[in-house]
Amino acid sequence: MTAPGTPTTADELRGAGLRVTAARVALLETVRDGGHLDAEAIASGVRERVGHISLPAVYEALHALAAAGLVRRIEPPGSPTLYEGRVGDNHHHLVCRSCGAVADVDCAVGHAPCLTASDDLGFVVDEAEVVYWGLCPACSTTGSS
C-alpha cells in the first residue's frame, strides 16, 4: 500500500505525460523490483502481473519510460541492453566478466556528473557513464579454487 502523499506508479506515469495502462504500470513496477533486467525478463515479469504482452510492446513501453526518465537503459559492451529503476542520480555499474552480474556503485567523488572531462570540447556535460569490469565475488572464488 502506498503511504499517503506518496505518488502511485500511475501518478508518476501521468506526471511524465504518459498514458496509464495496466501493462505500463506492471512494466515500471517490474523494472523497479528487479534490479538490472533485460527485455525478456521484464516481459516475463509483466506477464506474471497482467497476462499477455508482446515483446515489441515491451520494447515500445521501455523506450517511452526511458525517454521520460522513469527507467534507465544501460548497455554494457558485449552484454544485452538492461533496464533499471534507479534514476535521478549518476551512479555507475560493476559488471562480472564471467557470469554477467551487474551491480550499482555510487560515484567515487564529487557530484554528478562525477567526472570532469580533461577537455569538454564545448559540450555541456550532464552525465558520465563508467563501467567497472572484473569478476564478482562468486566467480572470483570459483576461479581460485
Q: Is 107 annotated as a binding residue?
A: no
Q: Is 114 annotated as a binding residue?
A: no
Pair 135, 90: CB distance under 8 Å: no
Q: Is 136 annotated as a binding residue?
A: yes
CA 15 to chain centre: 19
Strand ranges (E), 1-130: 72-74, 82-84, 92-96, 102-105
Q: Which cell is 51 given? A: 497476462
Q: Rounded CA gap, 10 and 20, in Å?
A: 6
Question: To which H or E segment does residue 11 belong?
Answer: helix 9-15
Tell me which amino acid residue 134 is: G
Q: Which residues are annotated as a binding site?
A: 96, 99, 136, 139
Would you list which residues are annotated within the binding site for Zn(2+)? 96, 99, 136, 139
